[in-house]
Structure 1
Amino acid sequence: MKNKKQEIKFQIGKNGITEGILNSLTLVFKNHKQVRINALKSSGRDKEIIVKLADNISNELSRRLSCSLRYRIIGFTIVLRKQLPKSLRKQHL
């Protein structure tokens, strides 16, 4: 049997993006490349709000981790992925 990769999931509720969430995400990205963040109904299920949340999270974590992060929005889920620097991408091919 193959080992299934552990999927890291977070939920954002009525409090939005807190310092605790940002600290937890920073720690998670030290060991993982991808995180799924689900926006709950209480966070305001509006597409514009989801895009703003994704931008804010991505920008803040990029600054904290000194690396590039990309996000993709699927419904009310933000899939956040850490990008390797270009110099390392060539080595992994």
Structure 2
Amino acid sequence: MLRRIEMRFLRPYLQEELKSVKMKSQIKFQIGKSGVTEGVIQSLNNAFRTRKTVRISLLQSSGRDRTKMKEIANELGDKLAGNFKHTIVGFTIIMKKTGARKPENKR
């Protein structure tokens, strides 16, 4: 039920992208009772060097609370190097790297 409500508010092209990411993405991290540690941040930074999208699941020991999930997603976005957008689907955070536009050559 919760998954449908969140997906309903997304734009159609984002819905399709999230569905395809969910099916294709093999890069998956888990956050447990330790929460967001330096090791998690380093691992995510390494993953984002080669990938554009990463799935992060929260284990039951991390306290699966909706407000805590939003706090963790915002904390990850602040601590990671770069610009990121996140979407929460169920107990999974899908983080997508959004880069700045490259300047066009003016010739």
**TM-score tier (shorter):** 0.7 to 0.9
Higher strand share: 1
Q: Structure 1 length as normaliser, TM-score?
A: 0.80
Larger Rg: 2
Structure 2 residues without counterparts, runs of 5 or longer: 1-22
- Deviation above 4 Å: which 4+ runs of structure 1? none
Equivalent positions of 1:49-88 (< 5 A) are 49-61=68-80, 65=81, 67-87=82-102
Could you report, residue by residue, the CA deviation over 1:35-60 in whole angstroms, capped at 9, with x for unpaired residues?
00000100001000000000000111
Give ranges in structure 1 of 5+ residues lacking alignment.
Answer: none
Q: Which structure shows the bigger proportion of residues in helix conformation?
A: 2
Deviations 1:20-41 (A, max 9, x none): 1111111111111010000010
* Percent identical residues: 40
Aligned length in residues:
82
Give, in angstroms, the shift of residue 85 of structure 1. Answer: 1.2
Q: Secondary structure of the equivalent of 1:87?
A: coil
5 Å-filtered alignment, 1:1-93, equals 7-61=26-80, 65=81, 67-87=82-102
